[in-house]
Amino acid sequence: MRVQSHALWALIATLLLWGERAPEALVADAAMRGDVAEVETLLRSGADVNAAQGDGMTALHWAAELGHAGLAETLIAAGAYLDAVTRLGDFTALHVAARAGQGTVVRVLADAGADVSARTSTGGVTPLHYAAASGSTDAVTALLDHGAEADARERAWHQTPLMFAAATGRTEVVRVLTAAGADPALTARVMDMDAREQEDRADQRRQEELQRRILMARDGRAPERRGGYGEPTGARQAEREDSARTAQSAMMPSRQDVNNQQRDRVPSSRFSHAQLVGGYGGLAALHLAVREGHIGTAEALLDSGADINQPTVGDGTQPLLLATINGHFDLAMRLFERGADPNLANDANATPLYTVINTQWIPKSRHPQPADYLQQEVTYMDLVRTFLDAGVDVNVRLDKQLWFTTFGDDYLRTDRMGATPFWRATYALDLPLMQLLVEHGADPDIPTKKTVRPRFGAGAIENVETGANDPSGLPPVPAGGPGVYAIHAASGVGYGEGFAANIHRVVPGGWLPAVRYLVEELGADVNQRDHNGYTAMHHAAARGDDEMIRYLVANGGDVMVVSRRGQTAVDMANGPVQRISPFPSTIALLESLGAVNNHNCVSCE
């Protein structure tokens, strides 16, 4: 027992010693405290100037961090290593000084011969990148004066110092860099999200196959195959594994190459989330400044010759479109005033007119800048009027759902591929905007496009085509055919199939006014069927909207219509999915009008 106690105390003593700083790091400790006198005393006594603390920080690193130029000169004179690096990241003292924006120390180190091209091991970042992000023009100028490459690329995303400065809103640094020859047209790396997803799945299957072989060799049996979320099995799985491609590795593929890959790989009207994203990245400095809403920085880049209409390499998004997507309406107006083209669209065929409407009404819980649109002097209606007065095409349709809105799509079960600005305004019940768009030539009869099937399996509607499983009596709708019309958007599409009420943002009290406008002024058919066979009656019932049901009936609405899934209007009011409560008054109203109740309340089980 005594031996064990002695061993325990010995272990504790050892741990305590390990927790103390080694004596050799006394100079670094004093420098960390900023105690110049103590550093000088230690150096005179022969202490090691290059002794590092546990994380590799030397006294010179601390002089750089704290901005003590005099201390740095003293340490260098005492033989401090300029190329000493930290244990994590390989940061030199010059990296540290640049990141802290300590311009005077940066010049001291550079004058002494510190490597201005040194790179960290975490991303291959140079001191000029960090100086640019810090906003210190003195640090940036000192590095450039000593030969730092203005367009050096870090290794993770191939971003330049100008991109670092643009993303952090360092306007004066942008001016210094561009005056030194930094190229604002350079773009960052692009990641092909679909190719990467396929490669990841192929890797997963290779791991599973290896596990299967190990278990076969050990137990004589293979494990049961368990497919991942949305993962194909059987022949389709093998087919996808054979077709999986290596993720894109070229530093700057052309936008045309990315687009060609997407067209070759994506079947019409059928997209996974990775395919919706497509090419991720490929932003230039101006895109980064615009994305973050840095107006002054964007102006400085334009003054230096940046292309105001330059598309991103990843998905062809121009600066004006990017500004509207992120709710920077003031910046969007300034870009327009400086010549940005509001007719340009990205690879999803989204235009600034559509995205400014979408940004105003997008669910804010997942919006890139949740409150930025509330802090603008320019309103979304200001931008809409500006674009319309400029003669933009008001009937442009989305070629695919916008990937950054899929959170709403998950719950609303309403794919917006093919939507026009008018459809999106109607979806928000924004009657003044609907009227304004019609005045400028919007076609209210353009629906969304039907997708092959919903991307999300749990609780999703099956798009039944024909046969015994389709009691609606409707002809099949091909992929890319008519999907959801404006009257469905205005009556509550998605409420009976998902959890739209949780996040769907609409004009309060706008349901009936929007439908009345569509029916009485634009001639919408109250019995128009969407691609799943639902009418406005179904969607109104799914929300328990008795007032709208009475209005639809008064205007010829059919309460007996049956959807492709066999659902009557009563079924939509009677808890058609889990956790959607029935609406007793709506059920009674519809039954009194002759609608059939199949008594299939899923949420009542």
Per-block average pLDDT, block size 10, for the chain (605 residues)? 44 44 81 97 97 97 98 98 97 98 98 98 96 98 98 96 98 98 97 76 84 80 53 40 36 48 44 70 97 97 98 96 95 98 96 96 66 84 98 96 73 88 98 98 97 48 53 92 97 86 87 98 98 97 97 97 95 90 96 94 82
Letter for the amino acid at 370?
P
User: How many other CB atoms are found less than 10 A from the CB of residue 112?
Assistant: 17
pLDDT for residue 230: 42
SS3 (DSSP) at 186: coil
Alpha helices in 220-254 (DSSP H): 234-243
Place of tokens 């100037």: 49
Torsion (CA) 285, 287, 288, 293 in degrees, nearest 10 = 130
Q: How far apart are CA 490 and CA 202, in angstroms?
A: 43
Q: How far apart are CA 261 and CA 392, in angstroms?
A: 29
Q: How far apart are CA 573 and CA 583, in angstroms?
A: 6
Name the residue ranges covered by the structural domains of the chain.
15-149
Contacts of 257 (CB under 8 A, 6+ apart): none
Query: Does residue 213 contact residue 333 with C-beta atoms inside 8 Å?
Result: no
pLDDT for residue 232: 41
pLDDT for residue 390: 98
* Residue 289: φ, ψ to 5°: -65, -40
User: How many other CB atoms are found less than 10 A from the CB of residue 139?
Assistant: 29
DSSP state letters, 282-340: --BHHHHHHHTT-HHHHHHHHHTT--TTPPPTTT---HHHHHHHTT-HHHHHHHHHTT-
* Residue 375 token pair: 């802090």
Letter for the amino acid at 244?
A
pLDDT for residue 195: 75
Closest of 271, 295, 311, 80 to residue 190, by C-alpha: 311
Q: Which helix (H) or strand (E) holds 192?
A: strand 190-192
pLDDT for residue 557: 97
Radius of gyration over alpha carbons of the chain, in Å? 31
Dihedral over Cα of 558, 602, 543, 401: its sign:
negative
Q: How far apart are CA 423 and CA 482, in angstroms?
A: 13
Helix axes 69-77, 36-44, angle to 10 degrees: 10
The DSSP call for residue 525 is -
Closest of 564, 552, 532, 570 to residue 490, by C-alpha: 552
pLDDT for residue 257: 52
Q: How far apart are CA 328 and CA 313, in angstroms?
A: 21
Q: How far apart are CA 301 and CA 334, in angstroms?
A: 13
pLDDT for residue 546: 98
pLDDT for residue 419: 97
pLDDT for residue 270: 54
pLDDT for residue 83: 97
Query: Does residue 518 contact residue 486 with C-beta atoms inside 8 Å?
Result: yes
pLDDT for residue 219: 76
CA 135, 136, 138: angle at the middle one, nearest 5?
155
Place of tokens 């961090």: 65
pLDDT for residue 274: 65
Q: How far apart are CA 141 and CA 126, in angstroms?
A: 14
pLDDT for residue 179: 98
Pairing of strands 279-281, 190-192: antiparallel
Dihedral over Cα of 470, 473, 476, 482: its sign:
negative
At the second CATH level, the architecture of 15-149 is: Alpha Horseshoe (1.25)
Closest of 95, 178, 166, 105 to residue 133, by C-alpha: 166
pLDDT for residue 102: 98
* Residue 294 token pair: 């840095």
* Residue 506 token pair: 């609409």
